[in-house]
Structure 1
Amino acid sequence: MSFTGSCACGAVTATISAEAPVAVRQCWCRQCQQVAGGGAANNAIFPTDSVAITGELATHAYTAASGNILTHSYCPKCGTPVMAQTSARPHFRTMRLGFLNVGHGLAPNAAIWTSDAPPWAAIDPALEQFEGQPPAPPPPPAS
């Protein structure tokens, strides 16, 4: 299976050749809440070499609570969040589920940075939960 994505205006698109993501997570860190407009950011992590982006991206980088540099990428025309990348794992791209085209079939299986979630957050108790930074996903298999 491959995945595709598009921003709201269509200026940025992606094709992801990976069979499946290495992880699908819901992030409640404060920075992700800001990017997501108040709730959690929902993300699928793919090997970098499986992600092909077309169109212009704008970025914003900062030091995250983990101590790593986190770079958010988004469409400069419509503002749709596209992906993030951490300096700790350049071999992965964290794609926003809302950027992926409908029908991707992905859902978070873990909630991370739950200690930053607001008191009203409804976190599915069936999800594996981490109060802070979870263990890194395994590296992608060698090609």
Structure 2
Amino acid sequence: MQLHGSCHCGAVTFSLHSAHPYPYQRCYCSICRKTQGGGGYAINLGGEAASLNVQGRSHITVYHARLPDEDGTGSHPSSAERHFCHLCGSALWLFDPAWPELVHPFASAIDSELPVPPEHTHLLLDSKAGWVEVNAGKNDLQFQKYPEESLAQWHERLGLTQD
């Protein structure tokens, strides 16, 4: 599916191809929660990095979140690049050089009509804010850390893979 997205002020527009366009993963980690706002979580989609076409790139700023060191004595920058419009603050997509073939646009930035997922995965619930209500359906999966299956595996299991 070809996805089209933009920031709120319209200074940045983008498009990319996604074989996995269902917005089903709700991430409650403090980074997504604080950079996305919304309902206390962010929804990331999967897309092909090579197909990403951006207009207004000069208005994009990249944020590297700080992650705690394993020994708990300090922090270090994440390799993940969270792209946002520096004019209006809209979060656009996440890219991590560890997976150079992927880009993860935020569903909130997508202007294309997205398909409704048959279930949701709620992840990093141990990081959610106390005020956040998790509205999980009977088929929804909940994980304290990361889900057991990848984006591709989830789509394949439910017969939702698109070419």
- Whether these two folds match at TM > 0.5 is yes
Q: Which amino acid aligns with 2:83?
A: S
- Structure richer in strand, relative to its length: 1
1:27 and 2:27 aligned: yes
1:81 and 2:94 aligned: no
Q: Identify the match of residue 112 of structure 1 among 116, 123, 131.
A: 123
Stretches of structure 2 that go unaligned for 5 or more consecutive residues are 71-77, 153-163
Q: Secondary structure at 1:69's aligned position in 2?
A: coil
**Alpha-carbon offset, residue 80 of structure 1:** 0.6
Q: Against the structure 1 CA distance between its residues 138 and 123, is the aligned structure 2 distance closer, same or farther, given a 3 Å change threshold?
A: closer
**Alpha-carbon offset, residue 73 of structure 1:** 0.4
Whose Rg is larger? 2
Alignment check: 8 A CA contact 1:48 1:93 kept: yes
Name the count of aligned residue pairs: 139
Q: Distance in 2 between matches of 1:86 and 1:134?
A: 18
Overall identity of the aligned pairs, in %? 21
Q: Against the structure 1 CA distance between its residues 36 and 22, is the aligned structure 2 distance closer, same or farther, given a 3 Å change threshold?
A: closer
50-59 or 72-81: bigger deviation: 50-59
Q: Distance in 2 between matches of 1:78 and 1:99?
A: 12
Q: Which amino acid aligns with 2:107?
A: L
- Deviation track 1:10-55 (CA, whole Å, cap 9, x = no partner) reads 1111112234338741110011111023711122121212322221
Q: Against the structure 1 CA distance between its residues 92 and 70, is the aligned structure 2 distance closer, same or farther, given a 3 Å change threshold?
A: same
Moved over 4 A (4+): none
- Structure richer in helix, relative to its length: 2
Matches within 5 A, 1:4-43: 4-21=4-21, 24-37=24-37, 39-43=40-44
Stretches of structure 1 that go unaligned for 5 or more consecutive residues are none
Q: Which amino acid aligns with 1:91?
A: E
- Deviation track 1:50-107 (CA, whole Å, cap 9, x = no partner) reads 3222212110113447x85221100111111001123432221111111100522355
Q: Distance in 1 between matches of 2:51 and 2:141?
A: 26
